[in-house]
With several copies, the nearest count.
Chain A
């Protein structure tokens, strides 16, 4: 991580005495001194962090403090100043950052409460959970760095590509597999789609062209299908209409034909067959 510029060009900052931010009902008219970062850099600054734990670790490490030894009040003040400042500057802030601010404030207030005299009612130090999380996160942050330093295929390591021996069989050997492979792949896609709440898919209208192909595909193997089987009720009115239009158009183009044995008998649809 790059060290941030902490110069304080006062003239840039304080063209008026307007409050920059409000922290605990206290208006900040001056950007906290050791915090000042130009607004543009602030956005970059925030992007440099992987989340509130990362930002907190940075604040702690910057002061050469041990995680076990955090001066909660001071760190909380710094952290909240950052957050307020970023909000003030309309920098998009993930909800997690705000949650952490609330947590810090809570820890701070609990630390300020007088200790109960009764030692049996001893509570866990309110900082313990936060410290545990910070420590845990820091381990994995370090592990990620170690992982990133390992030689990587395609970046540091290049594999060899050697053509197999010439052999007619290889060229003609067909792929043998069954559909379960594909099905599994699709299941994975769907499973992940479920897993991933934020997947964005544009609404796709029902296209007539697509329906043509679907109807034709359905009949491609030469089978005869009962007319109503071509409709999917779930698609609602629009779906039914599109399918019907597709059938009409395909009939017109002589790509399919309808067969009915007698009046009121079921209507069958099949691929158009040229009469001999």
Chain B
């Protein structure tokens, strides 16, 4: 069944809005089932139309290397930027915990972080930490798979106003990790969800 032009345009618009990263024409095509799939040409025409529709709006559809995305027009930046000025970007709990474990346990593999946190560490988190230059790969653990060993960087220390790793508050102040692990080992039992 062919979709109407207006439905098609609405789908493209929603998809570009919903995607966390820019969408290419290929990716847009992949949203449609075979029988409803538009042509590349159609998609490009509709995106042009969208760009016109948004000409008078505070957002614009821009094309970047990896595809199309919506962006707030530069003229609003004096107000929008206040959102980032007043408060530092909020780091997610999962990210902070991952970072804390790397800081205290470095060098450490992803699997080890997961063992401590008890949940899978998402690739996004690791990537975000790399993106901020807060962590680096310092080697590989010599076990099957040679997993990367992660450690924190000087940029990490700067971001958290630390002079050196020695400035990290001793974990003992919280409670010694090893003691806890020992306790855990003894109370360790199989549990299933």
Contact = CB atoms under 8 A, between A and B. Distances in A.
Query: A contacts B directly in the complex (CB < 8 Å)?
Result: yes
Interface of A: 50-54, 68-69, 71-73, 94, 96, 100, 108, 111-112, 124-125, 127-128, 131-133, 135-148, 150-167, 169-170, 173-179, 181-204, 209-210, 213, 217-218, 220-221, 223, 234
A126 to B, nearest CB: 10
Given A131-B180, A199-B188, A136 B116 contact: yes
Interface residues on chain B, size class: 35 or more
A187 B83 CA distance: 29
Interface stretch (B1-9, B33-41, B101-109): B101-109
Contacts, number: 330
Given A73-B191, A156-B74, A201-B116, A193 B180 contact: yes
A159 B99 CA distance: 23
A59 to B, nearest CB: 14
Interface stretch (B24-32, B42-50, B168-176): B168-176
Given A137-B118, A147-B96, A220-B164, A201 B187 contact: no
Given A68-B184, A73-B192, A220-B165, A165 B72 contact: yes
A140 B106 contact: no
B151 interface: yes
B18 A139 contact: no
B55 interface: no
Contacts of A111: 191
A221 B164 contact: yes
Contacts of A160: 17-18, 59, 69-72
Contacts of B107: 209-210, 213
Nearest to B150: A195
Given A50-B94, A195-B126, A209-B139, A161 B20 contact: yes
A213 B151 contact: yes
B191 A71 contact: yes
A196 B123 contact: yes
B172 to A, nearest CB: 5
Contacts of B162: 150, 179
A181 B160 contact: yes
Interface string B150-189: 0100000011111111111101101111101101110111
A199 B65 CA distance: 33
